[in-house]
Amino acid sequence: MDAAAKSLVAYGAYLLLNAIGLVFAPNTVLVLLGAPSTNEPWIRVLGLVVGEIGYYFIFAARRGLSTFYPTTVYVRFVASLVFVALVITKFGPWQLLIFAAVDLIAASWTKLSIKSNSEA
Show pLDDT as tens, one digit a residue, over the chain (120 residues).
899 999 999 999 999 999 999 999 999 999 988 888 999 999 999 999 999 999 999 999 999 999 999 999 999 999 999 999 999 999 999 999 999 999 999 999 999 999 776 665
Coil/strand/helix, residue 68: coil
Q: Which helix (H) or strand (E) holds 46?
A: helix 42-62
Distance (Å, rounded) from C-alpha 5 to C-alpha 69?
A: 8
pLDDT of residue 35: 86
pLDDT of residue 34: 84
Find the domain containing 109 and state its range.
Answer: 3-119
Instruction: For residue 79, give the amino acid letter.
Output: A
Q: How far is CA 58 from CA 14, 15, 66, in A?
A: 10, 10, 12
pLDDT of residue 66: 93
Q: Buried b / exposed e across 61-79, counting CB within 10 Å, b at 16+?
A: beeeebebbeebbeebeeb
> What's the domain count of the chain?
1
